[in-house]
Structure 1
């Protein structure tokens, strides 16, 4: 039985997939997003080591809430694909024991060759497409986005259901060209059930201070509803452009 390094968990999540969900935050991430609200999850050498059985025991008291609401389990991070064997075993356990819906919240920054067993037991992927411009993505996250776009295409090809997410950071991820490009890319994919524009927030800034890291977005304001609506409109326009060109 595999063990995993765990950052934290939430027993009644309502925003990371359908219904009420058990949300497990894995430790470790290869990206270092400037707006990350869990920078304490980056380090792969820390966290609480737990077995799959430990997590199943944590979930047991709440199973009826998850099942009755059409919910399930979501594994996020950090980046959960860094611990793919553990997450795959956990998802299999959830399906065999309770028939639960499984969701993976991922940046997509992984080698698709290492994700097959995990995706076989994953019902939904919440995929963050943070920036379409390669160099912009590197500046925002410390890494280029080639792997991420490849992962998105792989999910589409294998028929995996997806929710696409974009965190809207004013002055960074709200550019018209990039939002249109995001829409065009989404238009080339199959399996998209939902597109979410998530407003940037500052709730994790204190964690940067706690771990002694400088928060570079100190002067960035949280976007309002008009900015979110504009982003949604541009993504729709880009998606329509892609559809019309097929």
Structure 2
């Protein structure tokens, strides 16, 4: 099933929830903007995952493979209950496979009320392991309640060099680091994600900085070193955007192994 899968919603359920007063039956008619949803394996948390891609992102990463998720207005308005009902169709299969639900995007914390509602209902109604895929830039919007309903945070630390981070994303690094420290204080499990881009993020000193910081937190159970790819280049072109990394090479297997080795030297499990 592709991440372009249309969000299939039951009209009768939509009408019923929209007509239900806030707080009735313990639910609120919370809606948000959703780009699509998918079922994934391995890259969005443990096991088989139900993954809603929320629309809207404050970053504009040079290597983003889903630039079509950047704007909230381009998503579909979806009631939380409809998305939970969609996940419920796969509930038994997901639980048997040791999986769960992961909120991705875009940036889920651009819609913190909607994200919090989904995480709460995935966890408490469906009994699913929950994960939040975030850059951490909007970490201050994550309430303590939202984080209590989150079992795992997939935290993208795109660079240790603040100037390079700004060049890559258009934003500042500090909010991500502040959020990472907050998650450490809460002892919330984190998988760090680091995209290896030749000529940009692959400087050993840059990787060393991310690795040292991640190791210092004490709550990072895994690091995903993700090789840069160009699978989203066609989307950039279709949207009339300039994909400036079109000539950037894909990292070789030895380069990826070397990056993983730096994380491993700091006692981190890198894959």
TM range (shorter): over 0.9
Q: TM-score, normalised by structure 1?
A: 0.94
Tell me the residue number matched to 1:61: 89
SS at match of 2:85: helix
Tell me the residue number matched to 1:208: 236
Q: Does 1:226 align with 2:254?
A: yes
Q: TM-score, normalised by structure 2?
A: 0.85
SS at match of 1:151: helix
Q: 1:15 to 1:114 in 2, by over 3 A?
A: closer
Farther-moved stretch of structure 1 (84-93 vs 146-155) = 84-93
Q: Does 1:137 align with 2:196?
A: no
Tell me the residue number matched to 1:158: 186
Tell me the residue number matched to 2:51: 23
CA distance in 2, matches of 1:170, 1:185: 21
- Decide whether the 8 Å contact of 1:66 with 1:72 is kept in 2: yes
SS at match of 1:188: helix
Q: Which runs of 4+ in 1 moved over 4 A?
A: none
After superposition, residues 61-100 of structure 1 pair within 5 angstroms as 61-100=89-128
What are the Cα deviations for residues 181-200 of structure 1, in whole angstroms up to 9, with x where unaligned?
Answer: 11110121021111110111
Farther-moved stretch of structure 1 (86-95 vs 204-213) = 86-95
Structure 1's unaligned 5+ residue stretches are 241-246
**Cα shift at 1:121:** 0.4
Q: 1:114 to 1:106 in 2, by over 3 A?
A: closer
Tell me the residue number matched to 1:244: none
User: Which structure has the greater CA radius of gyration?
Assistant: 2
CA distance in 1, matches of 2:190, 2:213: 14
Q: Does 1:179 align with 2:207?
A: yes
- Decide whether the 8 Å contact of 1:164 with 1:196 is kept in 2: yes
Q: For 1:122, which of 150, 158, 179 is the aligned residue?
A: 150
Q: For 1:170, which of 188, 198, 217 is the aligned residue?
A: 198
The aligned length equals 239
**Cα shift at 1:14:** 3.5
CA distance in 2, matches of 1:49, 1:42: 15
CA distance in 2, matches of 1:143, 1:123: 27
CA distance in 1, matches of 2:222, 2:44: 12
**Cα shift at 1:111:** 4.2
CA distance in 2, matches of 1:49, 1:186: 36
